[in-house]
Amino acid sequence: MKLVSFQPAKNITRLGICVNDTIYDLAIARSLSTLSFTLPYLPDAILPFLELGNAAMNDASILHQDIITDSLQYNTAAYALNQVHLLSPIPKPTSMRDGYAFRQHVEAARRNRGLDMIPEFDEIPIFYFTNHQAVFGPGPISVRPMHLEQLDFELEVAIVIGKQGSDISAKDADSYIAGYMIMNDWSARAMQMHEMKLNLGPAKGKDFATTLGPWLVTKDELESKKISSPNGDTYDLAMTCSINGMQVSSGNVKDMSWTFAQIIERASYGVTLYPGDVIGSGTCGTGCFLELNGSKVFNPPMWVKEGDTINCSIDALGSLVNTIEVRR
C-alpha cells in the first residue's frame, strides 16, 4: 500500500490510500465497505492508525485490495491525486533520527577534507536527532535568507516505526518497520560549518526543514526488491536526485553499510521507540552538493538557489519534488 496524509481542502488533513492516480480517504472508505474486518473503524490520521498496530494495517490491506477490485463502490471516498495537497506521510513524527549509513558518502566527505576514513564508522550505526516539528511534504519549501548561504539537499531513504519496542535485536527489528519513504534532509552548509566548529550539533544548520514523501510504502510492495541478510533486510532500489531537470546524484538503498535493523537495534538500546518515529538512512553516495563540490564534480561549486526545483526519486517509493521559496 501507499499511505498518504493529504488535504482535500485547506486546514483539513486526512489519511488515505493512493491507488494509481486516485486517493481514497481511508476512514470513509472503511465505512462504505461491506467486508469483514478486525476493527470496527479505521482512523482518519496516520499516528492513531499506526498505534492500532497490525490490526489496522491488515484491515487497510483488505480494503486496499477491495478498492483495486471494485473501485466504484468507493467513489464517494475518492479524490483525484492532482486535486489534493499531499503532506508528509507522517506530518508530525513522534521523533526523528537521521543516520550515517552509506560508506561512500562518509569516505568521500572525509577525503574531501583531507581526512582518513574514521574506523568508528564500522563499530556503531551512528545517528543524531533532528527537528521533528519542521517536517514537510511535496511542494514549496520556505526558507530564510541565511539558509540560502550554501543551501544543500540530501538524498535519503527513511523508515517509520510501526509498533512500540525497546532493546530490539537486529534479527527482530524489521518487523517494527511500518514502511519506507523518501527523505530530503535540507542543510544550510554555511550555518552548519560555522556552528560545528564548537563540536556540537548539527543544530541550526539542519533544523529548519526535512521533507518526507510522497507516500509511505508498506513492505509488501517492496518484496520483489528485498535482499535478506543476517543483519536485516535491505532493498535494491535505485536513488536519484535532479535539480531543475539535471540529474546530479545516483545511488541505491542496497548500498547502505548499516541496515535499518541494525540502526533500530542501536536506537532502541535502553529507550523506547514509538509508532510514528522516523529514522533516516543518512545521505547516499553523491547524494548532496557538499560531497559533489568537494569531489570537484561541480567547479565552481553548485548549491540550491531560490526558485530551484529538487526531485528526489527512489524506485518503488516515488518522487519527492520541492521548490525553494524565500521568506524575507
Q: What's the CA gap between 105 and 82, in Å, rounded?
A: 35
Arithmetic mean of pLDDT, 17-39: 97
* pLDDT bracket for residue 284 (50, 70, 90): very high
Arithmetic mean of pLDDT, 302-311: 98
CA 242, chain centre distance (Å): 17
| Closest residue by Cα to residue 268 from 170, 201, 159, 150 | 170
Average pLDDT, the chain: 97
Look at residue 168 and give its three-state secondary structure.
coil
* pLDDT bracket for residue 106 (50, 70, 90): very high
* Cell (9 digits) for 115: 581526512
Percent above pLDDT 90 for the chain = 98
Q: Which domains does the chain have, with CATH numbers?
A: 2-86 (2.30.30.230), 95-326 (3.90.850.10)
> Is a pLDDT exceeding 90 seen at residue 22?
yes
**91 preceded by a cis bond (ω within 30 of 0):** no
Q: What is the DSSP string of 35-91?
A: S--SSS---SSHHHHHHTHHHHHHHHHHHHHHHHH-GGGGGGGEEEGGGSEE--SSS
> Is a pLDDT exceeding 90 seen at residue 48?
yes
* DSSP tag of 267: H
* pLDDT bracket for residue 291 (50, 70, 90): very high
Arithmetic mean of pLDDT, 29-46: 98
> Is a pLDDT exceeding 90 seen at residue 71?
yes
pLDDT of residue 135: 98
Q: Are 15 and 3 in contact (CB under 8 A)?
A: yes
Arithmetic mean of pLDDT, 172-197: 97
* Cell (9 digits) for 293: 563540490
Q: What is the DSSP string of 293-306?
A: HHTTSSSS---B-T
Q: Identify the residue whose cell numbers are 523506547.
A: 272
pLDDT of residue 129: 97
pLDDT of residue 63: 98
> Is a pLDDT exceeding 90 seen at residue 47?
yes
The model carries a pTM of 0.97
* pLDDT bracket for residue 201 (50, 70, 90): confident
Using one digit for the tens of pLDDT, what is the confidence trace for 214-251?
999 999 999 999 999 999 999 999 999 999 999 999 99
Which of 85-99, 190-204, 257-271, 310-324 has the least mean pLDDT?
Answer: 190-204
Look at residue 309 and give its three-state secondary structure.
strand
HSE-CB at 120 with a 13 A cutoff on CA atoms is: 3
* pLDDT bracket for residue 155 (50, 70, 90): very high
| Closest residue by Cα to residue 311 from 79, 204, 153, 112 | 153
> Is a pLDDT exceeding 90 seen at residue 278?
yes
> Is a pLDDT exceeding 90 seen at residue 282?
yes
